[in-house]
Amino acid sequence: MSTNTSIKVPLLDLRAQYDTIRPEVDDAVRKIMESCGFIGGPEIKGLEEEIARYSQSAHAVACASGTDAILMALWTLGIGPGDEVISPAYTFFATAGTIANNGATPVFVDVDPKTFNLDVHLLEKAITPRTKAVVAVSLFGQCCDIPAIKAICDKHQIYLIEDAAQSIGSEWEGKRSGSMCDFGTFSFFPSKNLGGAGDGGMVVTQNAELADKLRLLCNHGAKPKYYHSLVGTNSRLDALQAAILRVKLRHLDRWSEKRAKNAALYNQLFEGSKVGTPFHDPRTRHIYNQYIIRVANRDGLKAHLGEKNIGCEVYYPVPLHVQQCFAHLGYKAGDMPVSEQAAAETLALPIYPELMDEQIRYVAQTVRDFVEKQ
């Protein structure tokens, strides 16, 4: 097949998504503007109930972002100075940034070379008497092996948080991402499968007491208003965001299925090539927040795709253990070889639900042509 230079493929096309749901979204926004109920209210409560149900969780608490969701979960568990919290080395910065912002020390563990999720075999070795929690990430939309991680956490009596920012609706053996730990945390950043029109986040838990404390901390520790039993902060989701997210939640499964279908087409088109395609653990439902390939000359391919009007991105170029801000922790290059190799070789291709097969074929052929010339 020859590549067609007239095709443009962005990494994400939120405008195309909006075009498919415009009347529903506009109606939801108009209702909020007419009611002027911008803080709290029925849209927040409704979204919390719907996300709790969607995520097979007893409780859900809305907050300002996916970052705050992790921050508030750690805070609720009383994690602070002197404590160690384990994080994968290969993830978005917020997973470990929130540990440091709570005054605790991030301890990094390398990831599995196939799934890019925390390598369960390395976890126990990283646990010390100071370890208070693990933040396990379900990266790129594939739930990590929570049962195995939880068994280790239970044995050592430490908390487990699932950073499910990228994995809402993903499953491990039929159990929803976020539902199997002390806390599961979601992000509604616009590029997520369930993305708002700005920032937003949600924490889910099966534990009523933890949910109450977290809710209190997200509202300055006040209940009733102006009576503060705890020093908390303002981490709330806007009613406008909740109203938009409730519309989008109705479409989420269809969108995630379409992402999986797009991934299957890419996989087929890359068959027999030197392009490394994503590993899908058959125990999971993969929601493909990202479609990640591995190639030898990744930076060369990225530049080439840019020239061909194909959006792509490196998630993530620098693993967390070698980030400048964590230099004081004493890690060095070579400590987390799988994370370091992933950071050098991986590239996210467009996978959003509105992609047309013709666009996927164009992207796949352009990638194949480049890789074959190497």
Ligand X SMILES: Cc1ncc(COP(=O)(O)O)c(C=O)c1O
163 binding ligand X? (CB under 6 A) = yes
CB of 85 to ligand X, least distance (A): 14
- In residues, how long is the chain? 374
Give the Cα separation of 81 and 113 in Å (integer): 32
Taking CB under 6 A as the binding criterion, the range among 48-56, 86-94, 104-112, 360-368 that sits at the site for ligand X is 86-94
Q: Which is nearer to ligand X, 168 or 360 (CB)?
A: 168
Give the Cα separation of 319 and 55 in Å (integer): 29
Q: Which is nearer to ligand X, 186 or 331 (CB)?
A: 186
Contacts of 112 (CB under 8 A, 6+ apart): 118, 119, 120, 338
Q: Which is nearer to ligand X, 187 or 219 (CB)?
A: 187
74 binding ligand X? (CB under 6 A) = no
166 binding ligand X? (CB under 6 A) = yes
For residue 323, how far is the Cα from the chain centroid?
20
Q: Which is nearer to ligand X, 95 or 205 (CB)?
A: 95
- The letter for the amino acid at 57 is S
Closest among 126, 127, 205 to 162, alpha carbons compared: 205
Closest residue (Cβ) to ligand X? 66
For residue 143, how far is the Cα from the chain centroid?
10
Query: 181: which 2 tokens?
Result: 């730990």
Residue 352: is the preceding peptide bond cis (ω within 30°)? no
Taking CB under 6 A as the binding criterion, the range among 8-16, 63-71, 154-162, 341-349 that sits at the site for ligand X is 63-71
193 binding ligand X? (CB under 6 A) = no
The SS3 assignment for 348 reads strand
Query: 330: which 2 tokens?
Result: 């004493």
Give the Cα separation of 351 and 356 in Å (integer): 10
CB of 192 to ligand X, least distance (A): 7
216 binding ligand X? (CB under 6 A) = no
108 binding ligand X? (CB under 6 A) = no
CB of 138 to ligand X, least distance (A): 8
137 binding ligand X? (CB under 6 A) = yes
Give the Cα separation of 6 and 65 in Å (integer): 38
92 binding ligand X? (CB under 6 A) = yes
211 binding ligand X? (CB under 6 A) = no
201 binding ligand X? (CB under 6 A) = yes
241 binding ligand X? (CB under 6 A) = no
Strand order in the sheet with 284-285: 175-176, 171-172, 284-285
Among 13, 17, 32, 66, binds ligand X (CB under 6 A): 66
Q: Which spans of this chain sit near ligand X (rule: CB under 6 A)?
A: 65-67, 91-92, 94-95, 137, 163, 165-166, 187, 189, 199, 201
